[in-house]
Amino acid sequence: MQATSRRIVTNQAGPHQGLETRVARALEYPWRKPVAEHTREAFASAARWREARSDLPLILDAGCGVGISTRQLAEAFPDHAVMGIDRSDSRLSREHGPLPDNALLVRADLVDFWRLAFQANWRPARHYLLYPNPYPKAALLKLRWHGHPVLPFILALGGRLELRSNWRLYLEEFSLALRQATGVETLVEAHAPGTTYLTPFERKYHLSGQPLWRLVAGLSANPALVPAQEGES
C-alpha cells in the first residue's frame, strides 16, 4: 500500500548558525514561565498512577499523538510503566483499542510536564520523541526541542533517549546540542522500520518512500544541567 506525504523543505543548508547560542542560553538562564494549572493537575494524577507502579521502570512517550506508540511500547516492555503525553484531547480520544494495564495516556502541555517530572525526580529508563514537528524554517529554531528552553530538563531526566524523524538535519542539530550540553557523542543513523511501525507518521513516511532517521543516547540523570532558580542552592 502506497502513501503520500510531503518531504521536509527548509531554507537551511546545514545546522542552524544560532544553535550554539540557543543551547548556551538554555543552560545558563533559569526558565521562569509559570507551569499551566491544567498540566499541574494532569501531572498530579499521572504521579498517583506512577506511584502505584513504582516497582516498574518508567518509559516516557513524549508527544505520543493518538497513543499507538504508547500501546506498542507497553506491549514490547510489559515489565515497564509506559506513559504517553500529548497536548491534544482530540488525538488522545481517538479509538485505538484498550490500553494495556501498564500504560497511561496523559493530556498535558509537554514542556510543563517535563519540568514537573524533573522536579519530582522522575528518572525514566527510556524516553521517546518520535517524529516531532521539525519546524523547518530557520526562523523557528526556538520551537525545535534542541532550540527550546526546555532542553536542559529533557536531558537532565536521563535514561535511554531515542528520537526519530524524517528530517536528518533535525537530528543532526539535536546531536550537536546534546554534545554541547552533556559531552555525549551520538550518531544519526538510518532507521528501517520493516513492517512494524511505532507511529502513524512512521508508517506514512516509510510508505511514501521517505528515508527515516534515528538518534539514540544513553544519558545519566544530571540535575545540574538545569539552571537553578533564584533562592535555590
Note the pLDDT of residue 4: 72
User: What gap in Å lies between CA 138 and CA 129, rounded to an integer?
Assistant: 21
Q: What is the CA radius of gyration of the chain?
A: 17
Half-sphere exposure of 68 (CA within 13 A, CB side): 14
197: left (phi over 0), alpha (psi -120 to 50) or beta: beta
Residue 69 sits at φ, ψ, to 5 deg, of -65, -40
Between 37-51 and 110-119, two packed helices, what is the crossing angle to 10 degrees?
50
Q: pTM higher than 0.85 for the full model?
A: yes
The residue assigned the cell 514561565 is: 33
Q: What is the DSSP letter of 182?
A: H
* DSSP conformation letters of 116-169: HHHHTT---SEEEEES-----SGGGGGGSGGGSTTHHHHHHT-EEEEEEES-HH
88: three-class secondary structure by DSSP: coil
Q: 165: buried, middle or exposed (CB in 10 Å: 19+, 13-18, 0-12)?
A: buried
Where do the domains of the chain lie, and which CATH numbers do they carry?
36-225 (3.40.50.150)
Q: Going residue by residue through the chain (233 aa), what tens digit of pLDDT does each one get?
A: 556 788 888 999 999 999 999 999 999 999 989 999 999 999 999 999 999 999 999 999 999 999 999 999 999 999 999 999 998 887 887 777 889 999 999 999 999 999 999 999 999 999 999 997 789 999 999 999 999 999 999 999 999 999 999 999 999 999 999 999 999 999 999 999 988 899 999 999 999 999 999 999 999 999 999 998 754 44
- In the chain the first and final C-alpha atoms are separated, in Å, by 57
